[in-house]
Amino acid sequence: MSSAPDERPAGGIFNTTHWSVVLAAGDLGATDARIALTRLCQTYWYPLYCCVRRHGYSPEDAQDLTQAFFAKLLSNNQIALAEPERGRFRTFLLRSLENFLRSRHRDATAQKRGGGMELLPLEMESAEGRYETEPPDNLSPEVLFERQWAGALLETVLGTLRNEFSVTGRIELFHALEPHLWGDETSTPYASVAATLDMTIVAVRVTVHRLRQRFNDLLRAEISNTVETSSDVDAELRYLRRVLAA
């Protein structure tokens, strides 16, 4: 019996992560592969919406095109046609979208949402509100996609970590220490955090260290869900940091 796409058996067997499950199947006939791809799409659809909007499409057209793209992705054997760079789900998704947009004429997107398409439960109605609050920039559609991808990945990891602290009744601690995840945030020194939470400075330092370790573990796990082999994780992590630093 195959493992469920979101399981990680003891020993860290890599081929149970989402994207590797999809690629191992070669098409979407396998139930596990379809579930895995659907979950990935649900997590990372918003960067694609931003990319479509940056190409100049209206909010309504961008919603239709994004849903139509996923409908085609899930209904056809797109995985088997992927280029060699398919090893990264991020790259595969962007290249597939670009090909999709080139093959579609703008006037051909007038079909109503849900008109014969297999829709994913995406929060399309909130997409434009999110897009309008993005800081102004002159990024190309491709670069904007990469930036939004990095943001979606981090938010997924932070959401998992936030939930772990919440279920153990430590959400206040998480909110106080979250700014220190990527480095020592000087506007909120450890002494202030310690005083607020009735902890010693040493205890705060130890907790921050553990929080960073857990964050990095979760980040690597999430990245592994979007690459084909374990050897790609470090390279993708380095790329993520470059994108965030740009």
Domain ranges of the chain: 14-245
Question: What's the confidence (pLDDT) of residue 179?
Answer: 87
In Å, how far from its chain's centre is CA 105?
Answer: 28
**Is the model more confident about 94 or about 111?**
94
Q: How confident is the model at residue 25 (pLDDT cuts 50, 70, 90)?
A: low
Residue 1 has pLDDT above 50, yes or no: no
Average pLDDT over all residues of the chain: 82
Tokens of residue 35, six digits: 């579930």
Question: What's the confidence (pLDDT) of residue 160?
Answer: 95
Residues 41-68, buried b or exposed e (16+ Cβ, 10 A)?
bebbbbbbbbbbbbbebebebbbbbbbb
HSE-CB of 179 using CA atoms within 13 angstroms: 10
Nearest to 150 by CA among 85, 88, 84: 88
Q: What is the pLDDT of residues 108-152, one digit of tens each?
A: 544 544 455 556 667 787 889 999 999 889 999 999 999 999 999
| pTM of the predicted protein model | 0.80
Q: How many CB atoms lie within 10 A of CB 150?
A: 19
Those residues with Cβ within 8 angstroms of residue 85's Cβ, 6 or more apart along the chain or in another chain: 91, 92, 95
Question: What's the confidence (pLDDT) of residue 244?
Answer: 87
Mean pLDDT of 95-105: 84
Residue 80 has pLDDT above 70, yes or no: no
